[in-house]
Amino acid sequence: MAMVTVEPTTFSVVFFDASVICDWARDVADRLGFDGEEVHIVIDETSPLARWHIAGDRPVRLLVDGGAFEDTRRPREMAERRTRDVVGRALLRVLDRRGDGFVDAPPDDELTLAHAVAWDVYVVGRLARRFEHNGQRQRRLYQFRNRHGFSDAADAAFDRIWSADDLDWAALIAISDGARAVVTE
Amino acid sequence: MRKLFPADDLARDERFVRQTQEARIADPRRARVAEANAKRLTPDLPNGPDRARALMHGIFVGEVQALEGAGRTCFDFETGGGADDVPFELKLDMARQCWDEARHCEISVKLGDHMGTELGEYTENTTLYEAACNPDPVLRLTGVNRALEGLAIDVFNTMREFGDASGDPVLEFCEDWMLADEVTHVKMGSDWLRRLTDGDKARLDRALEFQRVVDKLFSFNGFRGDDDESPIQLTRRFREMAGFTPEEIDEIAEMSRQSRSEVPA
């Protein structure tokens, strides 16, 4: 079982429950193979933004704006789907980086918007299959189109990435760059 | 059927969750929310597509409420020449507006599908409909057709530009068509305000004051303005086409700047 902690343990600005977030995150971590590993989640409850950042690999340390775990229908309340989505995306990206195929990937804050979105599509597509949910596929496609063009080539590139299980960094950015080249031609 | 239908009783299914204006204002993160939305909405922002999705959902619920409001105006007032009555031609205009708003609802739902947004994914605020509950038909028309439909002009134009900049022809053209309708709705408000207050300056002043209140309410945190960084750009050209004077547009821009400066640090 993964050893998950959440900071702060009590919230005063939002109506989050750290122990419930811990349970959701632990379930995701266990299913992704983080058995026995430490996963620390630090939440900035004063921020309604939805940003998150991987600040450490071993142990895993995630810095999360409160808005990333927030229910968009009920402001200040936490949302299970969004929490699982963010934790899953972060942890799968950690796993990608630990493998040989992503050693050439730049640090997260140096990724281009197109490459960041392409990687996210690759991550969410796998999460959707593994956890048997739709992964908000159309939302991801819309984000992908915004970075790669509203074209058949971009949609085909999205489908390749979304359905893939064994891409490495070079293959991923080759698909992304290929789709963008159609727009800029 | 009862008249002056309260916002609390509007029909919604379980997908929709409402947030009151009081709850929004009570959110201690209000300044951070303003900060988060402080930049002009463009596709090159990291969260640009998601902000556009959220705004599109706001447009959708706004269209639902605009339909409900225009429908109420057809029904809530008797036809006639008294102070509490409205001309039949005004009801015809409101009926036409219902037709437009119903079409906008359908377009907005399809745009939501296109952008990957679920119905009810974001909270609903009924402030728009509440402005359509004023018992004075002139104030209602002014608040809805000049203030809120004026805001719709600004929002649609911003979204149209977002679609253009991102190369999304579906978003760009849908917004362009809806924008054309909104200009007509605002023009209706401007025309009826002039006709119904002809020779009654006190009523005209009350109506314009109500419009200012609604405009101020929807300039929250300087969200809409004509500074380059305003997330929603005040659209001078279309507003002038819809019967606004340059001075009236300047006043809204100033109100927005003032509203931005009032955001607690």
Give B91-113 pLDDT, tens digit per residue: 999 999 999 999 999 999 999 99
Residue B265 has pLDDT above 60, yes or no: no
Report the C-alpha gap between A40 and A7 in whole angstroms.
Answer: 8
In degrees and rounded to multiples of 5, residue B202 shows phi and psi of: -60, -40
Domain that holds residue B104: 37-261
- Does B251 fall in a domain? yes
pLDDT at B114: 98
pLDDT single digits (tens) A131-159: 988 899 999 999 999 999 999 999 999 99
Residue B127, by phi and psi: left (phi above 0), alpha (psi -120 to 50) or beta?
alpha
Q: Is residue B31 within 8 angstroms of chain A, CB to CB?
A: no
Report the C-alpha gap between B204 and B199 in whole angstroms.
Answer: 9
Contact residues, chain B, for A49 at CB < 8 Å: 32, 36, 47
Residue A73 and residue B122: Cβ atoms within 8 Å? yes
Report the largest interatomic distance among the alpha carbons of chain B, rounded to a whole angstrom: 55
Residue A21 has pLDDT above 90, yes or no: yes
Report the C-alpha gap between B132 and B41 in whole angstroms.
Answer: 28
Across all residues in chain B, what is the average pLDDT? 90
pLDDT at B31: 79
Buried b (16+ CB within 10 A) or exposed e, A110-125: ebebbbbbbbbbbbbb
- Does B10 fall in a domain? no
Report the C-alpha gap between A85 and A74 in whole angstroms.
Answer: 17
- Does B31 fall in a domain? no
pTM: 0.92
**A79, A45 in Cβ contact below 8 A?**
no
Residue B81: which pLDDT band, with cuts at 50, 70 and 90? confident
Of B36, B49, B120, the CB nearest to A146: B49
Short-list A44, A38, A32, A52, CA closest to A8: A44
pLDDT at A185: 63
Residue A48 and residue B36: Cβ atoms within 8 Å? yes
Residue A53 has pLDDT above 70, yes or no: yes
The CATH number of residue B116's host domain is 1.20.1260.10
pLDDT at B257: 81
pLDDT at B131: 86
Q: Cα dist. A2→A24, A86, A90, A185, B183 in Å?
A: 11, 17, 15, 48, 57
Indicate whether this complex's ipTM tops 0.85: yes
pLDDT at B24: 83
**A3-7 and A52-56 strand pairing:** unpaired
Across all residues in chain A, what is the average pLDDT? 96
- Does B127 fall in a domain? yes
- Does B187 fall in a domain? yes
In degrees and rounded to multiples of 5, residue A3 shows phi and psi of: -100, 100
Contact residues, chain B, for A75 at CB < 8 Å: 19, 23-24, 27, 123
**B108, B170 in Cβ contact below 8 A?**
no
pLDDT at B174: 97
Apex CA B246: angle with CA B62 and CA B221, to 5°? 45
Which residues does A106 contact at the CB level (< 8 Å), separation at least 6? none
Contact residues, chain B, for A158 at CB < 8 Å: none
Average pLDDT over residues A99-104: 97
- Does B172 fall in a domain? yes
Is the C-alpha dihedral spanning B68, B96, B137, B248 positive or negative?
Answer: positive
Mutate to test the interface with A, among B12, B32, B113 (most CBs of A within 10 A): B32
Q: Is residue B201 within 8 angstroms of chain A, CB to CB?
A: no
Short-list B170, B149, B150, B148, CA closest to B159: B170
Q: Cα dist. B168→A117, A141, A151, B175, B239 in Å?
A: 17, 13, 9, 11, 25
How many Cβ contacts (< 8 angstroms) between chains A and B?
Answer: 79
**A39, A25 in Cβ contact below 8 A?**
yes
Short-list B9, B156, B152, CA closest to B72: B9
**B7, B133 in Cβ contact below 8 A?**
yes
pLDDT at B263: 63
Q: Is residue A31 within 8 angstroms of chain B, CB to CB?
A: no
The interaxial angle of helices B149-166 and B48-76, nearest 10 deg, is: 150
Of A49, A72, A150, the CB nearest to B123: A72
Mark which residues 72-111 of A lie under 8 Å from B by CB. Answer: 72-76
Residue A184: which pLDDT band, with cuts at 50, 70 and 90? low
Residue B83: which pLDDT band, with cuts at 50, 70 and 90? confident
pLDDT at B261: 73
Long-range residue pairs from A144-148, CB within 8 A, at least 24 positions apart, any chain:
A144/A117, A144/A118, A145/B166, A145/B168, A146/A117, A146/B43, A146/B48, A146/B49, A146/B166, A146/B168, A147/A113, A147/A114, A147/A117, A147/A118, A147/A180, A148/A114, A148/A117, A148/A118, A148/A176, A148/A179, A148/A180, A148/A183
pLDDT at B264: 60
Please give, rounded to a whole number of angstroms, the shortest distance from the CA of B17 to a CA of chain A.
6
Mark which residues 1-30 of B lie under 8 Å from A by CB. Answer: 17, 19, 23-24, 27-29
Contact residues, chain A, for B17 at CB < 8 Å: 73-74
Report the C-alpha gap between A123 and A164 in whole angstroms.
Answer: 9
Residue B116 and residue A76: Cβ atoms within 8 Å? no
Which H or E run includes A38? strand A38-44
- Does B138 fall in a domain? yes
Residue B50 and residue A138: Cβ atoms within 8 Å? no
Contact residues, chain B, for A139 at CB < 8 Å: 50, 53, 115-117
Contact residues, chain A, for B115 at CB < 8 Å: 138-139, 142
Buried b (16+ CB within 10 A) or exposed e, A139-149: bbbbbbbbbbb
Of A50, A73, A116, the CB nearest to B121: A73
Long-range residue pairs from A92-98, CB within 8 A, at least 24 positions apart, any chain:
A92/A32, A92/A123, A92/A126, A92/A127, A93/A54, A93/A119, A93/A123, A94/A54, A94/A57, A94/A60, A95/A32, A95/A33, A96/A123, A97/A57, A98/A57
Q: Cα dist. A50→A71, A83, B36 in Å?
A: 11, 11, 10
Task: Domain count for chain B, please give it.
Answer: 1
Going through chain B in order, the beta strands assigned E by DSSP cover: 224-225, 232-233
